Amino acid sequence: MAREDYIGVGVIRNDAVEKVTGAARYAADLKFSGMLYAKLLRSEHAHARIRRIDTTKAQNVPGVKAVVTGKDFPNRMGLYLKDRTPYAIDKVRYYGEPVAGIAAESLEIAEEALKFIEVEYEELPPVLDLREAIKPGAPLVHPDLHTYEIGPAFFPIPHTNISNHFRIRKGDVEKGFAEADLIFEDEYYVPHIQHSPIEPHAAIALYDRQGKLTIWACSQSPFAMRNILANSLNWPMNRVRVIAPYVGGGFGGKAGLNVEATLVPLALKCRNSPIKLVCTREEEFRDTFVRQGMLCRLKTGVKANGRIIAQEFEMYWDGGAFTEYGVNVTRAAGYSSSGVYDIPNMKTDSYCVYTNKPVGGPLRGFGHSENHWAMEQQIDQIAHKMGIDPVEFRRINLQRDGSRNATGQVLSNPGIGQCLERTAELIGWEEVSGPGVIEPGVKKVRAKGIACMTKAPAMPNDAASSAVVKLNDDGTVSLSIGAQELGQGAFTVLAQILAHELGVRYEDIKIQPIDTDYSAYEWQTVASRITYSCGRAVKAAAKDARRQVLAHGARYFGVPVEDIEIAESRVFVKSKPDRSVPIGTFSLGVTLPDFSGYGGPVIGRGTFIPEGITAMNEETGQSEKPVANWTYGTQAVEIELDVETGKIRVLKVAAVYDAGRVINPVTAATQVEGGVVQGISIGLLEEMKFNEEGKLLNPSYVDYKILTAADMPDELLISFVEVPQEDGPYGARGIGEHVMVPTPPAIANALYNAAGIRMKTLPMTSEKVYWALKERLSASVR
């Protein structure tokens, strides 16, 4: 009998049957007796003072149970910066901000009653343009910013719209530029986009007679949600409970605390009545987190031999009305600002800027899709200028063993070199010698482009994981974790680790739905950290349970503990394998031959916290170990450009990531597939468009298009590099976010190689590409 090896095996997902039969329950599927329904009145101005608000008439509509406004919950809340309240108080800061909420017997009554709330606004000049927002004397979105509570790693500039200024000062950047033979400088922009999970946000809140507030929510962060809520309510944490069923896609949009907060003052008023809120797709687009826009200026100095010697990077983030979470995006984009390159002299300034736009927050990639959009294009621009093949130019500058990244951290054997080479091989890279030229009469052209990436989990240094393993009487296993299943396959991979480590059958493991009252603690399911961090906790918990089972076995069989093994849910004596019993024999302890009991129920516990991460210096951003780990990857694309219309079609994608160790090759591949398609979608189509008043013009799939099945690439070539992560389970590190980061710049680079045009603003819509093509053609005629 051998221990089943579950590491590196593509087992079937453990959530598949539930999901494919429609049996899986998501937050919007939950229903309770006596349930009330909530609807929110939202601001129709981007920036305005609330002069008067009268809810009396709405209160009197039959069926209405409660109406609340900002004054009913004045405590500020937020993950890193406490800058927001569930409902606007005194002024509104974006078009769509909740102004009042209604709980009623039916959704229809709640909606009809909204019309009876009277609000009088005094319009204020909206801050919509990033460049204007940072000018001295600009109207302030948060005049009281200097009084807000903020985490230690963030540096707001009082009496401005800047809520965080992150800095890198490495080497001597002026000297570096002075020594450079070529200096290249350009500006890049990414617009606001939306996560667009197919499941809109949904939550139910109940304030019961025990004085306990329970929230059922589609959440990536049940524990963070509990923390923020208890904190803002100033309650003991055991009076707040968050229950989180399956999440129908997160991508960062369901991290932290968001729309759920609007239910809290309603629940406090309607004691013992559960209140349900389900976002419409319009609300999902505008009133949950969005990805901030980002405008940046990037300047690079290069030596004649192709070595980058200096880089100056200024990023301005269009953070929106509240930046409680967004401040950390700007920090992450700052400390990763060398990308995958070894740059001796660096100066980076990343500014989080308040504007009167929807609330910026985490989105898959967390600042890296944005800064790599600039970096990975500029690398190609310089390569072209110097007449060096873009792959070769990358080779010259890649981080190697012993290189120092932007934070001065010394890197040990980064996997990027292998990723780059394998990607080039998979896509069939041929040396690129100059911009593409379109011959007259040619209607379609093809070309390849490449881009690299790196990202670290952007999380507090003490972001921890834990796990509890319980053996049931019959030998089946319950795993309690706070990590969430968002579709990425976390439950599957964690069950594999448990099965492997404990020696039980994968099929015999069930993961308990997350309930902060009962589940083991997890910081949040974000930052591509679950396989790495929770994986370590599960591994430790499994080892702990295993130790107990082995001890029970030794006692039962009367042999030394070293002679006991567990495999396929059976415990046996190694030297006499026919002496074996099902593992359930020991779940509750051991019954000895004289029928006396020994031991007790098997419960394994495991915890993990990445060790040795130290704060970055406030002035320089330097640190010996600023983050838990770095994941590297490379993608290349082959595109076809329709010269007549400007439409880009991605034909082929090659993607290679250093996963450290692939625990499940199938779920790892599916992460890459989905990420690449999301990356193409963001590259070609996605943009939230606002009018001059700050109103979102396309809050629906009608005019915010995402890739459909008819738009996918013909071929997707995926491969993994495995340079082990020292403290990862079996060497594993995360890849979930990384896989969509290099896609847009790879397409942009391919576009240049196809047609000699450079798109510095996302998305690369056919219209924009068409005009760029036209300009290029007329320039070449001139």
Name the residue with tokens 């001065």: 408
Structure tokens given for 155: 């540096």
Instruction: Provide, rounded to whole angstroms, the least separation between the CB of residue 250 and other proteins.
Output: 8
Phi, psi of 743 (to 5 degrees): -60, -55
Phi, psi of 322 (to 5 degrees): -135, 140
Our CB check for other proteins shows the closer of 743 and 753 to be 743
Instruction: Provide, rounded to whole angstroms, the least separation between the CB of residue 14 and other proteins.
Output: 11
CA dist 365 and 744 (Å) reads 12
Instruction: Provide, rounded to whole angstroms, the least separation between the CB of residue 397 and other proteins.
Output: 31
Our CB check for other proteins shows the closer of 408 and 736 to be 736
Q: What is the distance, to the nearest Å, from the Cα of residue 183 to the centroid of all Cα atoms in its chain?
A: 34
What residues contact 524, with CB distance under 8 A and at least 6 apart? 220, 221, 223, 224, 255, 256, 459, 463
Instruction: Provide, rounded to whole angstroms, the least separation between the CB of residue 19 and other proteins.
Output: 3
CA dist 612 and 610 (Å) reads 7
Number of H helices, E strands in the chain: 17, 29
Instruction: Provide, rounded to whole angstroms, the least separation between the CB of residue 486 and other proteins.
Output: 6
Our CB check for other proteins shows the closer of 60 and 645 to be 645
Our CB check for other proteins shows the closer of 280 and 607 to be 280
Instruction: Provide, rounded to whole angstroms, the least separation between the CB of residue 359 and other proteins.
Output: 20
Phi, psi of 441 (to 5 degrees): 85, -10
Our CB check for other proteins shows the closer of 611 and 703 to be 703
For residue 741, give the nearest of 762, 765, 717, 767 by alpha carbon. Answer: 762
Instruction: Output the CA torsion sign for 118, 124, 130, 133.
Output: negative
Instruction: Provide, rounded to whole angstroms, the least separation between the CB of residue 662 and other proteins.
Output: 14
Our CB check for other proteins shows the closer of 21 and 234 to be 21
Computed on alpha carbons and rounded to an integer, the radius of gyration of the chain in Å comes to 27
> What residues pair up with 598 in beta bridges, in sequence order?
590
Contact between 495 and 509 under an 8 Å Cβ cutoff? The reply is yes
Our CB check for other proteins shows the closer of 134 and 526 to be 526
What are the E-state strand segments in 20-96?
36-42, 48-54, 64-69, 91-92
For residue 372, give the nearest of 766, 686, 640, 762 by alpha carbon. Answer: 762
Q: Is 169 helix (H, G, I), strand (E, B) or coil?
A: strand
What does each C-alpha distance from 253 to 219, 246, 247, 288 come to in angstroms? 9, 14, 11, 7
Our CB check for other proteins shows the closer of 64 and 627 to be 64
Instruction: Output the CA torsion sign for 507, 509, 510, 511.
Output: negative
What residues contact 266, with CB distance under 8 A and at least 6 apart? 36, 38, 66, 68, 101, 102, 103, 205, 275
Instruction: Provide, rounded to whole angstroms, the least separation between the CB of residue 20 and other proteins.
Output: 4
CA dist 61 and 65 (Å) reads 9
Instruction: Provide, rounded to whole angstroms, the least separation between the CB of residue 595 and other proteins.
Output: 39
Instruction: Provide, rounded to whole angstroms, the least separation between the CB of residue 709 and other proteins.
Output: 4
Buried b / exposed e across 60-80, counting CB within 10 Å, b at 16+? ebebbbbbbbbebbeebbbbb
Structure tokens given for 89: 């108080």
Our CB check for other proteins shows the closer of 41 and 541 to be 41
Give the CA dihedral 709, 712, 714, 717, nearest 10 degrees.
-120
CA dist 93 and 101 (Å) reads 17
Instruction: Provide, rounded to whole angstroms, the least separation between the CB of residue 667 and other proteins.
Output: 7
Buried b / exposed e across 648-681, counting CB within 10 Å, b at 16+? bbbebbbbbbbbbbbbbeebbbbbbbbbbbbbbb
Our CB check for other proteins shows the closer of 378 and 492 to be 492
Instruction: Provide, rounded to whole angstroms, the least separation between the CB of residue 178 and other proteins.
Output: 44
Our CB check for other proteins shows the closer of 25 and 175 to be 25
**Which class for 710: exposed (0-12), middle (13-18), buried (19 or more C-beta within 10 A)?**
exposed
- DSSP 8-state secondary structure symbol assigned to residue 756: S
Our CB check for other proteins shows the closer of 98 and 679 to be 679
Instruction: Provide, rounded to whole angstroms, the least separation between the CB of residue 644 and other proteins.
Output: 5
Instruction: Provide, rounded to whole angstroms, the least separation between the CB of residue 653 and other proteins.
Output: 10
Our CB check for other proteins shows the closer of 453 and 471 to be 453
Our CB check for other proteins shows the closer of 100 and 180 to be 100
CA dist 130 and 117 (Å) reads 33
What does each C-alpha distance from 503 to 127, 564, 721 come to in angstroms? 59, 12, 27
Our CB check for other proteins shows the closer of 203 and 247 to be 247
Instruction: Provide, rounded to whole angstroms, the least separation between the CB of residue 589 and other proteins.
Output: 34
Cβ neighbours of 779 (radius 10 Å): 9
Instruction: Provide, rounded to whole angstroms, the least separation between the CB of residue 677 and other proteins.
Output: 4
CA dist 19 and 473 (Å) reads 28
Our CB check for other proteins shows the closer of 84 and 364 to be 364
Instruction: Provide, rounded to whole angstroms, the least separation between the CB of residue 422 and other proteins.
Output: 20
Our CB check for other proteins shows the closer of 337 and 423 to be 423
For residue 86, give the nearest of 282, 260, 301 by alpha carbon. Answer: 260
